[in-house]
Structure 1
Amino acid sequence: MKNCGDSQIQIRYWDYRDNYRRNREEILALVDKVFSSGRLILGNEVTRFEEEFAAFCGTPFGVGVNSGTDALFLALKTLDIGAGAEVLTVANTAVPTVAAIRAAGAAPVFVDVEEETFLMDVARLEQAITPATRCILPVHLYGQAVDMEPLLQLAAKRGLHVVEDCAQAAGAIYRGKRVGSFGEIGAFSFYPTKVVGAYGDAGMAVTRSPDLHERLRRLRFYGMEGGYYAEEEGFNSRLDEVQAAILQLRLARVDEEVRLRTKLAALYEEGLRGVGDVALPVVRNGNTHQWYLYTIRTGRRDALMQHLAAAGIETRINYPTPIHLMRGYRFLGYGEGRLPVTERLAGEILSLPMYPELPESYGQRVIETIRTFFSTR
């Protein structure tokens, strides 16, 4: 669904250009530093960012890769999860989560989600386990963590691997620990829209295991450990030096940017509480939310979206069609009605403009436009 033409948009859902204008001189200096270094691939900038980001997550090891999709794919390959294996995950996520599972040769098995948080309903996991189940892949959606304690207990009880999809929640805390530090491997995306965003594609896998770290490094570079000799069949998925340099700058400022996101979320919370049939985001006790997205629910979503577009306010639906209902994944054998909460939420959710540089006055205008919609209908 299109929101409105670019010429009509006055308040964008997301825009990196204010961040670029603010940091332009430093970013260009970093680009020049890399181009002048004599090393463009897997050099000092990648090594430094791997160390810094792993420490940020509370893990000793990080492996920079080409994208968040590759981080998931390589995590599964590192754990030897492939043909004949089932991976438990959710369908209300970006396609890359499932694409990575399929690329590894495994089969996704979907579980439903919690209505209030949109997160994996951990209570439904055990009934989805079969003899072929090898891994649980929770998605920390919109900026907060899945309920990891019971998930990890179940995984230990049933002998299952755990790979975390942290693409939307870098830095989010669950009971005192950051996402990515719970499973055997945590996979992150640094796509430009993300909480820690590059100026292009980039990703990372983090782990506490020296052995998994060694294999991740090997698999991202053709299975090689040195020279031109492959120890095993591998792939080409390398974090770019330029992006690694820029990501060091973005990581250094993430706390301040999340503070601004949280301030905007509080503005929305105060301004939209009790308005119409709008259900506001719920933060689980023990969680901190990074507010990658601010996603509301309403039974009048499509009409509200059109009303906002007419006022020059861009919004998005994350995600309008659950993966199990997409034409490209019909072969998985899921029909409508298999994931009732997931399917119902897909018709109600709407993500409002959210990024650190969004002026408070713009947030207030979003609120007023929504309030007007419900007061006149």
Structure 2
Amino acid sequence: MNDILLQEKILCLDLKKQLQQIKEEVFSAFESVYDNAAFSGGPFVEDFEKSFASFCQTNYAVGVNNGTSALHLAMLALGIGQGDEVIIPANTFIATAWGVTYSGATPVFVDCTNDTWQIDINCIKEKITSKTKAIIGVHLYGQPCDIDALKAICEQHKLYFVEDAAQSQGAQYKGTPVGGFGEIACFSFYPGKNLGACGEAGGITTNSEVFYKRFLNLRNHGSIVRYYHDELGFNMRMGGLEAASLNVKLKYLSAWNDRRREIAGRYQNNINNTKIKMQSQPDWAHSIYHLFVITTDNRDELVDYLNERKIAAGLHYPVPCHLQKAYGSLKYKIGDCPNSEYLSNHCLSIPMYAELTDDEVNYIIDVINAY
């Protein structure tokens, strides 16, 4: 074992290592924003929107202040509101549900499978009612959900399909980047994402000019012409500094994602401890491994074991959405989504970021195999 590894803890995510590599380039971009005083919206945001739309192979991209706002605006653009229902997985970050609730609609939680940990297609149809308006498919941990199966259900029942792509910038489904499969896709550019801003930011992609123009209006106080407000809008613009940092990082994203895939492949091929289970990877899913999640029967014991050996682990997510206190009024109970509940009690995330060294990856594998 390398002495450095024994002295320094390997973090679950070490964002500083990425930022140090591109610091001068990012600071130069910040200086340009400063010199142009383009801090809210403006040319740097527009440049990023064009680049990100091209990256996702969509007609349009719209920058907003965070991924939660992207989900909220998606619901509003689709006309979803009071009295409507939207089907979402119980095993996701809570923001997927917030977007539905903020619009006045009700999230309907569906269990995940016990292998891919994505929304269980076989459980969806029983949740569809006359109030159902949309299904949100989450590309969880950077792995695309089963888009064709979800779209088939949406087409059969005349529902909208929305992609929650918050964790999946650059992931591909059957060789095509996520972001253009549904009516709308929503991205987060939270700093810790594979493509993360220096600050808070989010984005929306769509191939619809109608939705695109609506988003421009909604994010800017319901206004296209200054001081003329066509509808109830919001202050959800992306900042110029955030956009400038994203413009720099987007150039490196594919290489960073490739390195994550390389690390993930080494985990998958070399961790051979029978106490550890990993997320199943269907052939059609080209993940970017925003997170590398495993499960084990005694999570606390494994977390302590890793910490003692200077390896940090994360929890994504310790409480499934349907059992969150915020949604207590919906009367879900333990046992309603058993696979999601099992994950919440047994999953943990091991270190995953492009800057992990080969020695660190080998050390993590050796330590887990010895558990």
Do residues 300 (structure 1) and 298 (structure 2) align? Answer: yes
- For 1:359, the equivalent position in structure 2 comes to 357
Shift of 1:270: 2.3
Residue ranges of structure 2 left out of the alignment (5+ in a row): 1-6
- For 2:251, the equivalent position in structure 1 comes to 252
- For 1:315, the equivalent position in structure 2 comes to 313
Shift of 1:39: 2.1
Contact 1:9 1:314 in 2 (8 A): no
- For 1:285, the equivalent position in structure 2 comes to 283
Deviation track 1:133-158 (CA, whole Å, cap 9, x = no partner) reads 01101111001111111211111111
- For 2:270, the equivalent position in structure 1 comes to 271
Equivalent runs, 1:92-111 vs 2, <5 Å:
92-111=91-110
Contact 2:175 2:286 in 1 (8 A): no
Contact 1:196 1:247 in 2 (8 A): yes
Q: Distance in 2 between matches of 1:327 and 1:127?
A: 24
- For 2:334, the equivalent position in structure 1 comes to 336
Extract structure 1 runs of 4+ deviating beyond 4 A.
none
Shift of 1:277: 2.0
Deviation track 1:171-220 (CA, whole Å, cap 9, x = no partner) reads 11111221111110000000011111111110001100000000011000
Deviation track 1:119-170 (CA, whole Å, cap 9, x = no partner) reads 1112221111011101101111001111111211111111111111000111
- For 1:26, the equivalent position in structure 2 comes to 25
Shift of 1:9: 6.2
Q: Distance in 2 between matches of 1:41 and 1:300?
A: 48
Contact 2:101 2:107 in 1 (8 A): yes
- For 1:52, the equivalent position in structure 2 comes to 51
- For 1:3, the equivalent position in structure 2 comes to none
TM-score normalised according to structure 1 size:
0.95
Do residues 370 (structure 1) and 347 (structure 2) align? Answer: no
Q: Distance in 2 between matches of 1:57 and 1:123?
A: 29
Q: Distance in 2 between matches of 1:99 and 1:151?
A: 21
Supply the AA of the counterpart residue of 1:128.
K
Deviation track 1:27-65 (CA, whole Å, cap 9, x = no partner) reads 110110100013222111100111111111111111100
Supply the AA of the counterpart residue of 1:108.
P
Identity across matched positions, percent: 36
Deviation track 1:230-269 (CA, whole Å, cap 9, x = no partner) reads 0111111011111111101111111100111111112212
Contact 1:9 1:309 in 2 (8 A): no
Indicate the RMSD between aligned Cα atoms, in angstroms: 1.2
Shift of 1:92: 1.2
Q: Secondary structure at the match of 1:109?
A: strand
Q: Secondary structure at the match of 2:348?
A: strand
Do residues 16 (structure 1) and 15 (structure 2) align? Answer: yes
- For 1:205, the equivalent position in structure 2 comes to 204
Supply the AA of the counterpart residue of 2:209.
P
- For 2:89, the equivalent position in structure 1 comes to 90
TM-score normalised according to structure 2 size:
0.96
Q: Secondary structure at the match of 1:245?
A: helix
Contact 1:9 1:313 in 2 (8 A): no
- For 2:4, the equivalent position in structure 1 comes to none
- For 2:343, the equivalent position in structure 1 comes to 345
- For 1:175, the equivalent position in structure 2 comes to 174
Q: Secondary structure at the match of 1:36?
A: helix
Q: Distance in 2 between matches of 1:254 and 1:314?
A: 24
Deviation track 1:297-334 (CA, whole Å, cap 9, x = no partner) reads 21122211111011121101100110111222211110
Equivalent runs, 1:220-231 vs 2, <5 Å:
220-231=219-230
